[in-house]
Chains A and B, each alone.
Chain A
Amino acid sequence: MRPGKTGESTRMASSISLSIDSDLDKVAHIARAVRGVCSGLLSTDDADAVEISVVEAINNVIKHGYQGQPGQDVEVHVVLHKDQVVIDVIDHASPMRTELLDQASEERFAFDETNLDEVPEGGMGLALIQMNMDEVEYTSEGGENRLRMIKRVA
């Protein structure tokens, strides 16, 4: 992990950048670091929401983007504003199909709980991100993918 605190010139904003290589064992470190950075600004529930979203986003990059291949880069940029936290998860893997994110919602969990076959064992990550964050946007440009997740301060 390479923490690098940078003083941002933007008024009322401070930012921190972290990076790991594509190893699932390292996701917890970066998630705890992001949580720590946001903790002064967010309630415990909102910090929980940010933590799970960051974990799901990075897991998706490692498992699906890089297909489990080690030694690839995953960067996380966190910018704290007075009224919101903006988190970018950046990778250089094959881009995700944007409709996957657009279609992800709480509908994923509208299963019939009396029918065990319907209860999902996977494919929950993007839905959890959509449900836990206030805004989610995915862009892919010049080989760089960026998942931007925004949590507003309650």
Chain B
Amino acid sequence: MLTSELRNNVLVVHVGEKRVDASKAPLFKDEMTKCIESGQNQLVLDLSGVDFVDSSGLGAIVSCLKRLGPRGNLAIAGAKGAVSRLFTLTRMDKVFTLHDSVDAAVAQLSA
């Protein structure tokens, strides 16, 4: 469900599903873990193609941040509508840096 590309030493991970919910969260977490274990610690999660995340999906994203540890960064790009609202409502917008676009997120992490 994920594809990734390296830009300026930042791994950009695109989500190829419209919904990251309880049925998809385990696979999401597995694939993200592989990205993290490949040695990357500056990541951008591109949610621009996602229109729904539930608490299981959100929990999976949080667990990836925890796995990255204090030296890593996981920025969120392109969250909109219900997805952006979920981050705000749960105060996860204080935990993750949210960017309008992948370009903006990469620029910040590679600065």
Contacts and interface: CB of A to CB of B under 8 A. Distances in A.
Nearest to B94: A113
Interface residues on A, range: 20 to 34
Contacts of A52: 52, 54, 82, 86
A16 B26 CA distance: 32
B58 A124 contact: yes
Contact of B85 (A31, A45, A124): A45
Give the contact-size bracket for chain B: 20 to 34
Contacts, number: 75
B57 to A, nearest CB: 10
A82 interface: no
Contacts of A90: none
B13 interface: no
Contacts of A120: 59, 62
A55 B86 CA distance: 13
Given A44-B81, A55-B21, 18 more contacts: A24-B22, A24-B23, A25-B23, A27-B23, A28-B52, A45-B85, A48-B81, A52-B86, A59-B55, A59-B56, A63-B22, A109-B89, A113-B95, A119-B62, A122-B59, A125-B55, A128-B89, A131-B89
22 contacts: A24-B21, A24-B23, A27-B23, A28-B19, A28-B21, A28-B52, A51-B82, A52-B52, A52-B82, A55-B21, A55-B54, A56-B55, A59-B21, A59-B22, A59-B54, A59-B56, A62-B22, A109-B91, A113-B91, A119-B65, A119-B66, A125-B55
